[in-house]
């Protein structure tokens, strides 16, 4: 039996009678009860929501009038990750003197390390990276430089015409591998001349070095010791063996008259006697013989591997000629700036370019510019992979064959770079694949009175420290 009392029919009748008698009162009372119940439910839901939030998905429509979110100001890069690996100790080595430096991620283009990197400074031989890029982009990697022998306009005369090839050699043991041989040129020319003029002996050999002004051959800022000690020749369009006294040695004293030396070597190779050498220009149109250099890509590698100043000057002059700028020394800045700007490089207007070799202390290139160029070189943009392929490898080849030793050896094989050295400066720039696999580009200049032979190792140590840090490299 239930304890709950059931309502009787009479009680239900009485309630209806009361509502019928006072309908307004009962309506207001009912609404109040409903309001109270709704308020209580809302309060309960609010409490539940605060303790267990529920996700709300809003599906936008094409007619939404919601205001846009906050827009990131133009020109700002996303926030960088926090990096904690410091190379400040290696960078503070006193053997580096006043360090100017830049390290860039080759993947993202982010500047990871900077020490006055935006300031134009003398890059020494590192400038040859700009020369290499200019030559590849302007001349093309497959182009060659040629030397010709032409028939003269006077009986018994021939003309030796220089084409800006410093590698033309008197020996198969030249410092330039597979260089064109002067003996091949002379033999072919004599055979052709004899057929054309069987009864006319050669009595005159005219030497044509007019591809650019033969007198425009030496920058006033170059120390004379560069020539006498064997690093730099007079820059003439006709020469043999880079005008070395010993064509088999990279560093060998250069002479005072490369054009005449080339003429005398040709006469000897041709077996001529009783001839007169003179300077002039070719006026005829008959080519008796011609030999060509290795492709420009090979010349670029030969230049970069050994920091060959003669090749650097020849390549930049040839680039000037190709651009229609005459091959003069005064045009070098214009051709380098213009070519690199055409490759998409910014900041070319601050470059000061006095030569193609970096021998002049008056050159000025920011380390950051070189590091940015090396990003393009590593990526192979516009054929610049030829520059990267031509670089010395740390501890293995070229000017870096005896570097990256001891504690720095771990970074050697991962480093491809160009070195530089002039008075009061040593430099190093290139690419390094770090220990974590990240590709970095760098340019380091050690400047000032503190610079010595020991600066080489200090530069290597800085690269090795960057190699160890990789993408965790901090700018601290």
Instruction: Classify domain 88-140+299-472 at the CATH superfamily level.
Output: DD-peptidase/beta-lactamase superfamily (3.40.710.10)
pLDDT bucket at 80, cuts 50 / 70 / 90: low
**Within 13 Å, how many C-alpha atoms sit on residue 116's CB side?**
13
Residues β-bridged to residue 149: 160, 289
pLDDT tens digits for 218-237? 999 999 999 999 999 999 99
β-pair type (157-161, 204-208): parallel
Structure tokens at 432: 């390094």
Mean pLDDT of the chain: 87
Quick one: pLDDT band at residue 284, thresholds 50, 70, 90? confident
For 165, which DSSP code?
A: -
Nearest alpha carbon to residue 470 among 113, 158, 182, 194: 113
Q: At what angle do helices 128-139 and 309-322 cross, to 10 degrees?
A: 40
Contacts with 99 (C-beta within 8 Å, 6 or more apart), sequence order? 91, 115, 116, 444, 445, 446, 447
Provide, rounded to the nearest whole percent, the portion of the chain with pLDDT above 70.
83
414 pLDDT tier (thresholds 50, 70, 90): very high
Contacts for 156 with CB less than 8 Å, ≥ 6 apart:
197, 200, 201, 202, 203, 204
What does the block give as tokens for 255? 């002479």
CA distance 203 to 55: 100
The band of 81, judged by pLDDT with boundaries at 50, 70 and 90, is: confident
Query: Is the per-residue pLDDT at 288 higher than 60?
Result: yes
pLDDT over 80 at 271, yes or no: yes
Where does the pLDDT of residue 341 fall: very low under 50, low under 70, confident under 90, or very high at 90 and above?
A: very high
- Tokens in use for 110? 């982010």
The predicted pLDDT at position 79 comes to 36
Over range 15-25, report the average pLDDT: 39
Q: Which SS3 state, helix, strand or coil, does residue 236 take?
A: coil
Q: Is the pLDDT of residue 6 over 70?
A: no
Average pLDDT for residues 125-141, to the nearest whole number? 98
Which residue did the predictor score with more confidence, 32 or 335? 335
**What number of residues does the chain have?**
476
Mean pLDDT of 395-423: 98
Give 423-446 as a DSSP string. Answer: TTEEEEEEEEE-TTS-EEEEEEEE
Q: How far is residue 279's CA from residue 213's CA, in Å, rounded to a whole number?
A: 12
pLDDT digits (tens, 9 = 90+) for 233-264: 999 999 999 999 999 999 999 999 999 999 99
Strand partners, 453: none
Q: What is the Cα–Cα distance from 331 to 316, expressed in whole angstroms?
A: 9
Q: What is the pLDDT of residues 153-175, one digit of tens each?
A: 999 999 999 999 999 999 999 99
Q: Kindly report the backbone phi and psi dihedral angles of residue 169, in degrees, each rounded to the nearest multiple of 5, phi listed first.
A: -125, 155
Helix (H, G, I), strand (E, B) or coil at 206: strand
**If we measure between CA atoms, which residue out of 217, 227, 301 comes closest to residue 259?**
217
Q: What are phi and psi of 422, to 5 degrees?
A: -135, 180
The Cα–Cα gap between 384 and 373 comes to 10
Q: What is the pLDDT of residues 433-464, one digit of tens each?
A: 999 999 999 999 999 999 999 999 999 999 99
The arithmetic mean of pLDDT across residues 111-131, rounded, is: 98
Q: Which of 25-39, 100-114, 242-256 has the lowest mean pLDDT?
A: 25-39
Q: What mean pLDDT do residues 169-185 have?
A: 98
Q: What confidence tier does 107 reach under pLDDT thresholds 50, 70, 90?
A: very high
Stretch 416-431: mean pLDDT = 97
**Domain ranges across the chain:** 88-140+299-472, 146-294
């Amino acid at each position: 039996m239930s304890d709950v009392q059931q309502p009787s029919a009479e009680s239900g009748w009485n309630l209806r009678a009361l509502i019928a008698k006072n309908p307004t009162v009962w309506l207001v009372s009912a609404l109040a009860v409903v309001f109270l119940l709704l308020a209580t439910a809302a309060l309960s839901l609010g409490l539940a929501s605060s303790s267990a939030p529920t996700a709300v998905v809003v599906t936008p429509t094409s007619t939404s009038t919601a205001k846009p979110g906050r827009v990131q100001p133009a020109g700002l890069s996303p926030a960088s990750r926090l990096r904690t690996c410091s190379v400040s100790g290696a960078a503070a080595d006193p053997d580096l003197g006043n360090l100017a430096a830049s390290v860039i991620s080759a993947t993202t283009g982010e500047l990871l390390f900077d020490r006055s990197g935006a300031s134009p400074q003398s890059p020494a031989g590192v400038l040859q990276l700009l020369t290499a890029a200019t030559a590849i982009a302007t001349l093309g990697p497959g182009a060659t430089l040629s030397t010709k022998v032409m028939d003269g306009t006077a009986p018994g005369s021939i003309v030796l015409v220089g084409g800006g090839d410093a590698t033309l050699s008197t020996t198969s043991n030249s410092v330039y591998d597979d260089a064109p041989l002067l003996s091949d040129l002379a033999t072919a020319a004599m055979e052709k001349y004899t057929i054309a003029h069987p009864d006319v002996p050669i009595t005159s050999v005219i030497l044509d070095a007019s591809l650019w002004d033969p007198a425009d051959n030496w920058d006033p800022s170059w120390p004379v010791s560069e020539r006498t000690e064997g690093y730099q020749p007079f820059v003439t369009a006709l020469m043999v063996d880079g005008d070395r006294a010993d064509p088999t040695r990279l560093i060998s004293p250069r002479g005072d008259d490369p054009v005449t030396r080339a003429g005398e070597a040709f006469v000897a190779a041709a077996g001529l006697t009783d001839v007169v050498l003179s300077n002039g220009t070719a006026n005829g149109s008959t080519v008796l013989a011609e030999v060509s250099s290795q492709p420009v890509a090979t010349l670029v590698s030969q230049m970069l591997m050994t920091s060959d100043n003669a090749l650097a000057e020849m390549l930049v002059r040839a680039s000037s000629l190709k651009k229609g700028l005459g091959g003069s020394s005064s045009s070098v800045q214009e051709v380098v700036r213009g070519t690199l700007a055409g490759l998409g490089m910014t900041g070319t207007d601050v470059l000061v370019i006095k030569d193609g070799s970096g021998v002049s202390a008056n050159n000025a290139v920011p380390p950051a510019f070189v590091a940015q160029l090396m990003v393009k070189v590593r990526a192979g943009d516009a054929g610049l992979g030829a520059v990267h392929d031509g670089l010395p490898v740390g501890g293995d080849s070229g000017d870096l064959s005896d570097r990256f030793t001891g504690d720095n050896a771990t970074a050697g094989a991962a480093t491809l770079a160009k070195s530089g050295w002039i008075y009061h400066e040593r430099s190093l720039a290139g690419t390094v694949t770090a220990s974590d696999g990240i590709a970095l580009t760098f340019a380091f200049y050690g400047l000032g009175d503190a610079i010595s032979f020991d600066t080489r190792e200090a530069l290597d140590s800085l690269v090795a420290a960057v190699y160890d840090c990789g993408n965790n490299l901090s700018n601290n």
